[in-house]
Chains A and B, each alone.
Chain A
């Protein structure tokens, strides 16, 4: 098995220590950092994402795989910057104002990073203005809003309105998700995309970033 495959395999089983060691070895062996990232780390995370979508793995397996991926990415980051490697797109993500719950948001973030997208995490309790201002300042293609509660999901509609007011609706797509959110709700508030799970959200974000570029 090649070292790249080993990285992918170990990532899929959440072996953070092994992934770190293998990535370091690959770097030392002179393997192109983009290859280590794409064919090792992101490829492994993609497998986990697909399995998660198909209920073949569950939240714990995604979390430990993402932890392993992040450990590897940290080692690669300076080299990728040096190489001028570009992310596939840029997303700002957050849980909407009034809602402090973040596991769904974090899962989506991990999955998007696993697809090679740069994700700016705004945390929880994020106001519509913060979403929109960040999208403008950081030149994001997507605003991604999460909510756990039926009482806070309406803030997503405010994000759409705020983006309209700021004049960025033709440039920035708005994705929504979370426990109480549905396609019907997405359509009602005029958002662009709803997905029912984190892995599908990452797939959709790749498509939206591709169509925006």
Chain B
């Protein structure tokens, strides 16, 4: 069987000769760490990103079959983006930077961290109408139509390939920060936040429609959201339903019309409270199910939603920083989840600094021994 067949079979509750060894990429710092340890070449560590040739080469060295988070897509960001520029250098060496999303971030060169969000441009209706709305429109340049017209012949045939279908709220949160998003929701112009979400979603629908109309075939659709944290969602489930549900439904109905029945969504954190909105509107595959750091779980969700809910992820990646016994324990836990059907283990986020190269190889080798 090819890995594509294995993945599609498992997610459709059919037999497979074995589990595929699926991963979710790496922190860049880990690859540099491995290069320093002599595990991989420095060349392989630099410029290694999801779907790059270097990543595929590293997959081969480690023994991975594929990276789930490697969908193909279109430009669903602000078009054109804001200029990425340094606004100010502070006395401690950190910089205030305007991001392509119009967020003012503080970064510190040499410090590996999610940037601190200092300010944002999308504060009121005027900023939306003049700065953002024009950048949230559909333009043909957002899509490489020629690529998609040839896609069925040029795509790798042995791995499942997803189509990135964008985001409903996560990217807007990226444009405003959590604080800015919160103020926009509750500030006096009650319609403003809905207008922002609707405008951004309508553009993405048009992009998706244009891609699917080329005849390109995909194994799954894949959203990115990241709208939850350790204690649950970053927005109330009621507001999430109110602003976002219809857009998931519309986009997912379109995917279904074109034969895509696996619709995956990447959201970090504990996602339980938002799952009803996603699941009831066509999203059926949880990813990456962050069990290790955030304590998310697949089994309770499966119990609640039944076999219609699939999962990719759920393997505690922190075990890969420990020892063989910890990895073995995780593999045993994975066996139980695999036996539920419709579930493919994958480290529950990008592998982080401190992860042991040999343990990753060991995990990839062992997970492939599990038969379905």
- Is B182 a contact of A60 with CB atoms below 8 Å? yes
Confirm or deny: A2 has a beta carbon within 8 angstroms of a beta carbon on chain B: no
Q: Find chain A residues with CB under 8 A from B294 CB.
A: 179
Q: A101-B114, A124-B116, A148-B113 are in contact. Are A59 and B182 (CB under 8 A)?
A: yes
Q: Is the interface of A mostly helix, strand, loop or mixed?
A: loop
Q: Which of A149-164 contact B (CB under 8 A)?
A: 149-152
- Is B116 a contact of A101 with CB atoms below 8 Å? yes
Q: Find chain B residues with CB under 8 A from A151 CB.
A: 29, 112, 352-354
Q: Find chain A residues with CB under 8 A from B183 CB.
A: 63-64, 67
> Which residue of chain A is the closest to B185 with respect to CB atoms?
A60
Q: Find chain A residues with CB under 8 A from B251 CB.
A: none
> Which residue of chain A is the closest to B181 with respect to CB atoms?
A60
Q: Find chain B residues with CB under 8 A from A64 CB.
A: 182-183, 186
8 A-B residue pairs with CB within 8 Å: A58-B235, A58-B236, A100-B108, A102-B116, A102-B117, A148-B114, A179-B230, A196-B230
Confirm or deny: A87 has a beta carbon within 8 angstroms of a beta carbon on chain B: no
Q: A101-B114, A151-B112, A196-B230 are in contact. Are A60 and B318 (CB under 8 A)?
A: no
Q: Which of B274-295 contact A (CB under 8 A)?
A: 293-294
Q: Which of B94-141 contact A (CB under 8 A)?
A: 94, 106-108, 111-117
How does the 8 Å CB contact mask read for B175-188 relative to A, with 1 for contact and 0 for none? 00011011101100
Interface residues of chain B, those whose CB is within 8 Å of chain A, are 29, 92, 94, 106-108, 111-117, 178-179, 181-183, 185-186, 229-236, 239, 273, 293-294, 318, 352-354
Q: State the CA gap A16–B89 with chains docked (Å).
A: 33
Confirm or deny: A118 has a beta carbon within 8 angstroms of a beta carbon on chain B: no
Q: Find chain A residues with CB under 8 A from B354 CB.
A: 150-151
Q: A99-B113, A124-B116, A125-B94 are in contact. Are A150 and B107 (CB under 8 A)?
A: no
Q: State the CA gap A14–B318 with chains docked (Å).
A: 39
Q: A60-B234, A64-B182 are in contact. List 12 more A-B contacts (CB 8 A).
A: A13-B186, A55-B273, A58-B232, A58-B236, A59-B234, A60-B236, A100-B116, A102-B117, A104-B229, A150-B293, A179-B293, A197-B231
Q: State the CA gap A124–B115 with chains docked (Å).
A: 10
- Is A100 a contact of B182 with CB atoms below 8 Å? no
Q: State the CA gap A150–B318 with chains docked (Å).
A: 9
- Is A55 a contact of B232 with CB atoms below 8 Å? yes
- Is A100 a contact of B231 with CB atoms below 8 Å? no
Among B92, B181, B186, B236, max chain A CB count under 10 A is at B186
Confirm or deny: A166 has a beta carbon within 8 angstroms of a beta carbon on chain B: no
Q: A67-B183, A151-B352, A196-B230 are in contact. Are A100 and B236 (CB under 8 A)?
A: no
Q: Find chain B residues with CB under 8 A from A13 CB.
A: 186
Q: State the CA gap A98–B230 with chains docked (Å).
A: 20
Q: Which of A187-213 contact B (CB under 8 A)?
A: 196-197
Q: State the CA gap A136–B92 with chains docked (Å).
A: 23
> Which residue of chain B is the closest to A58 with respect to CB atoms?
B236
Q: State the CA gap A102–B354 with chains docked (Å).
A: 24
